[in-house]
Structure 1
Amino acid sequence: MISAEVFKYVLTGTYVILVYGLSWVGMRRTKDISGFAIGNKDMSPYLIGITLAASIASTATFVINPGFVYVHGLSAYLHYGVAGSAGILTAFLVLSRGFLRLGEESKALTIPQWIYNRYHHRGFSLFFAFINLLSISFVVLILVGCSLLMTGIFPIDQKPALLVVLVFVFSYVLMGGTYAHAYTNTLQGIMMIIVTLLLFVQGFHYFDGDILGSLRNISPGYGAALNPDSNLYYDFFSVFGGGFIVTFALMLQPHILTKVLYLRSEADIGKFIGTTVVVGTLFTLILMVGFYARLAGLEIESQDTVVREYLLHEFSGSPLGQLTLTFIFITLLAAGMSTLDGILVSLSAMVVNDIVTPLSKGKTKGLAWSRWTLIAVGIIGLLLAWNPPPLIGLFAQKGVYGLAAASLVPMLFGVLVRKPLPLPLIASASLIALFSHYYFNLFGGVANPAVSASYAIIGSCAYTLAGLALIHFIQRKK
């Protein structure tokens, strides 16, 4: 049998060659900023669906969120796995058709450009372009998560691992843009499906035939849908309401909702959504690793390292286990890269299309600028990830959930309401959501960013509905 050490480097080398090969194909098909940002609308809806599912189920799902399940129990699993999945499905059913229709009419490449074409105000689209830079917080999460995984399989410290991950992902995205992202994500998505099923089956014996009973043996709260001992998932709203609302809003992130613009036509939407939901729901089974690590009796000091420590505990004891461990670690690295490359493509396209080009009055070369922007984002992400905060998952949620809260009213009402909308009302609702989220989370005693963002979203929606009703009432009175 091939040694685990040799297999590790052969598999890693094969994966790197495949990714660069697919990126080279992508580069040959990328001729301009439009092709870099959304492709040439010649990709299969099934491929796009797998790409999106892999983008959503990133390092957060595969590496960081099982740590929340390890600490908080069933309530955390229901928050991410059930409420979150329902939010994803609902968002795509509600928004995909209208977003694609309006995007096709306006030839939008990014969400800020879509905002500009919907509301016809450059300042508002610039505001959206700048707040979308909050996505960098998720770049930091992925870089940290991937570096933690690399330290588990290679003899390397975390900081050099950060540099390796950064250089690898940025180099292949620089080459091929959207095509590199889509082709490599399909490969990575298939690997992620295999590992999800493998780990789900491998650790199921820890339940000893009684899932709820096993969890309640740890503590009554750990096995409860609402955990009174948790500061994050303690009541119906923090488990289900916040999980559903914020995940619905998260589908408005540029690297997610813009996948709809890859589609050829509305006829592909059903295939696209079906593929995304089936594959994405399967990926949530990886959260079970948090339960398995707890039931295995592992005492893990750092929540962010739960997956790494569990895998080392389970698979390091035999030659076959070490071979399996190598494949799993490479796949989990791929899971992180599959989201990171999507964020990078959307961020770079957005900065060029919605900040640099408008401010320079079109006197820039878009494709070149998009690649320089990637380098700048990489440097900023590296600086933030160099000495990461504790609980990197909550750090990323603070940033990305703020973006989600601010995006919901302009996007949701922009898609569902066909007639012109009053910009002052929509813009002020977006600002209310953004600042409310940070007030509740940083100063209002709401520890769970999903809850603070959901409060902000509900408040901004109520404000918008009241404003529209008042405008309608005034117009009727005239």
Structure 2
Amino acid sequence: MEIIPVIFKYFITLLYVGSTFFLSYIGMKKTKDLKGFSIGNKDMSPILVGITMAASISSTATFVINPGFVYNHGFSAYLHYAVAATLGIITALVTLSKGFRKLGAEHGSLTIPHWIRHRYGSKMLGLFFAVINLFSIAFIVLILSGCAILTSDLFGISETLALAIGLLFTFSYVLMGGTYAHAYTNSLQGILMILVAIILFFSGWEYWQNGFFSEMQNISDNFASMYNSVPFSKTTPLYYSFFSVFASGFLISFALMFQPHILTKVLYIKEEKDVNRFLVTTLIVGSIFTLMLFVGFYARFEGLEIGRQDRVVNDYIKHIYSSSIGGQCMLAFIAVTLLAAGMSTLDGILVSLSAMVVNDIYLPLTNKDDGEMSAFGLALSRYVLIAIGLVAFALAIKPPLLLGIFAQQGVYGLAAASFVPILMGVLLKRKIPTFIVWLAATIGVGGHLFLNLYWGVKNPSVSSSIAMLVSLGITLVLLAITYQSNKE
């Protein structure tokens, strides 16, 4: 009878792979140039784009990595990711989506650096943001490594081989269809992710019946605490104060919406009236995805001893579902869905980065006009995609032990640099001096890296949030001075 779970495992995997390539083929037929590869032809449903956005925001971080933070740090980590982060995401999308889409549509922007170049009238500023957006490769490494762990356990192969298979699969379907492949496959992946988030949430229903908060206290008072311990010690948790739990979670999640594969989703939408439907879909689906964080609690309540943060979800589902034939089939379904969750963000990052390297690095450096780059730009973006894959593979073969922190160091640096330029660019209608934008971006990324790497602020969300607040404060002072000078 044990053959049944094996057959089901391969069946569900082949079904997912086949469906993905079919959707990518449909996308490929619509992708004719660099614009179509980057943001599509503005003919996608706002609901489809909303599911795509939610899946891109959540992905491996929510489905594989962040439950590990909850497992290690308890209630404080849950509040950081489920409450503060969700509020930051909602605020950013509601506040900025319409203004960002409108300005992007007016200038035909394909990427965030492209948008910044048009907003501030500076090719060099756009080039700078294109270069620092390469920090996103840290997140690619996180996703590839997380997916490799799942694939290795599911099929009993080495993590290196699993890494290579995952890389080839994702890059091949993205090469085919670009944004359309990303959006169409994300709709499939998003539906699977909704099912699994609900299934895993109810897998620990007994703990709710017994009194969930009491279960947390049974682990320790520290585990059940809103804040634990003090900062700047190797032995203390990451979430030790209102700022580290709530303020930094809100600020960094707000700024993370400025990643190249996220805020650009609003550029897929043709009409402003469709933005509200897009937002509602994103928020509903994203809220369901946060149910995955409870897996961190459940794994701790089960008494599982798990050394690696990125293995918490994997080890929990094996513990719960591996004892029966039906459970093993469920295990295979969940494992494939967790892989799909990783792919849902990975493909979006790959599309954005490859388009950005061509549109925002190659074009400015060669002084070529956008019009010269239609067919050639599409081909070049695909070659760039292959190069990014090789670099990511080399980094992911031996990833850092604290993979979640490694990814946050890079991606949060990008968020800190983008925070003020995009926020001020959308909210203010006046012309903003370019030197202020340069200074704000430099303080954001430089301050984050200095605090995190040299000043002992170990939580990347705290270091980036401090840098963003300093950057915003200096920017507001300079804007007030320049505004007064112009009036005089």
Same fold per superposition (TM over 0.5)? yes
Check conservation: 1:152, 1:312, Cα contact below 8 A. no
Question: For each residue in 1:108-144, what CA deviation from the matched residue of structure 2 results, as whole angstroms up to 9, or x when unmatched?
Answer: 0111111111111111100000000000000000000
The letter for the 1-side match of 2:346 is L
CA distance in 2, matches of 1:38, 1:468: 33
**Does 2:300 match 1:289?**
no
The letter for the 2-side match of 1:432 is I
Tell me the residue number matched to 1:174. Answer: 175
**Does 2:404 match 1:393?**
yes
Tell me the residue number matched to 1:62. Answer: 63
**Does 2:270 match 1:264?**
yes
Tell me the residue number matched to 1:425. Answer: 436
Check conservation: 1:441, 1:448, Cα contact below 8 A. yes
Q: CA deviation at 1:313?
A: 0.7
Check conservation: 1:204, 1:292, Cα contact below 8 A. no
Question: For each residue in 1:289-331, what CA deviation from the matched residue of structure 2 results, as whole angstroms up to 9, or x when unmatched?
Answer: 0000000000111121111111111111000000000000000
Tell me the residue number matched to 1:412. Answer: 423
Check conservation: 1:54, 1:280, Cα contact below 8 A. yes
Tell me the residue number matched to 1:201. Answer: 202
Task: Determine which of 395, 399, 415 is the counterpart of 1:384.
Answer: 395
Correspondences of 1:180-195 after superposition (within 5 Å) = 180-195=181-196
Q: CA deviation at 1:74?
A: 0.5
Tell me the residue number matched to 2:233. Answer: none
Q: CA deviation at 1:475?
A: 3.3
The letter for the 1-side match of 2:325 is P
TM-score (norm 1): 0.98
Task: Determine which of 309, 312, 326 is the counterpart of 1:306.
Answer: 312
The letter for the 2-side match of 1:422 is P
Tell me the residue number matched to 1:243. Answer: 249
Check conservation: 1:206, 1:296, Cα contact below 8 A. no
CA distance in 2, matches of 1:209, 1:311: 21
CA distance in 2, matches of 1:293, 1:416: 43
The letter for the 2-side match of 1:468 is L
Question: For each residue in 1:379-417, what CA deviation from the matched residue of structure 2 results, as whole angstroms up to 9, or x when unmatched?
Answer: 110011010001100000000000000001110000011
Check conservation: 1:27, 1:179, Cα contact below 8 A. yes
The letter for the 2-side match of 1:389 is P
Tell me the residue number matched to 1:434. Answer: 445
TM-score (norm 2): 0.96
CA distance in 2, matches of 1:9, 1:474: 69
CA distance in 2, matches of 1:89, 1:468: 27
The letter for the 2-side match of 1:115 is I
CA distance in 2, matches of 1:119, 1:346: 21
Check conservation: 1:402, 1:453, Cα contact below 8 A. yes
The letter for the 2-side match of 1:81 is A
Task: Determine which of 330, 354, 364 is the counterpart of 2:360.
Answer: 354
Unaligned runs of 5+ in 1: none
Where 1:368 maps in the other structure, the secondary structure is helix
The letter for the 2-side match of 1:323 is C
Q: CA deviation at 1:208?
A: 4.1
CA distance in 1, matches of 2:205, 2:177: 40
Tell me the residue number matched to 2:476. Answer: 465
CA distance in 2, matches of 1:143, 1:413: 34
Q: CA deviation at 1:441?
A: 0.3
Check conservation: 1:208, 1:214, Cα contact below 8 A. no
Question: For each residue in 1:163-194, what CA deviation from the matched residue of structure 2 results, as whole angstroms up to 9, or x when unmatched?
Answer: 00000000000000000000000000000000
Question: For each residue in 1:9-63, what CA deviation from the matched residue of structure 2 results, as whole angstroms up to 9, or x when unmatched?
Answer: 1111111110000000000010101000000100000000000100111111100
Greater shift, 157-166 or 467-476, is seen at: 467-476
CA distance in 1, matches of 2:36, 2:336: 29
Question: For each residue in 1:314-351, what CA deviation from the matched residue of structure 2 results, as whole angstroms up to 9, or x when unmatched?
Answer: 11100000000000000000000000000000001111
Q: CA deviation at 1:151?
A: 1.7
Correspondences of 1:41-60 after superposition (within 5 Å) = 41-60=42-61
The letter for the 1-side match of 2:117 is Y
CA distance in 2, matches of 1:24, 1:6: 27
CA distance in 2, matches of 1:253, 1:316: 38
Query: How many residue pairs end up in the alignment?
Result: 477
The letter for the 1-side match of 2:413 is G
Q: CA deviation at 1:473?
A: 2.8
Q: CA deviation at 1:246?
A: 0.3
Tell me the residue number matched to 1:15. Answer: 16
CA distance in 2, matches of 1:410, 1:301: 40
Task: Determine which of 317, 328, 332 is the counterpart of 1:322.
Answer: 328
What's the Cα RMSD here? Answer: 1.1
Q: CA deviation at 1:206?
A: 2.9
Unaligned runs of 5+ in 2: 231-235
**Does 2:212 match 1:216?**
no
CA distance in 2, matches of 1:335, 1:404: 22
Q: CA deviation at 1:207?
A: 4.1
The letter for the 2-side match of 1:384 is L
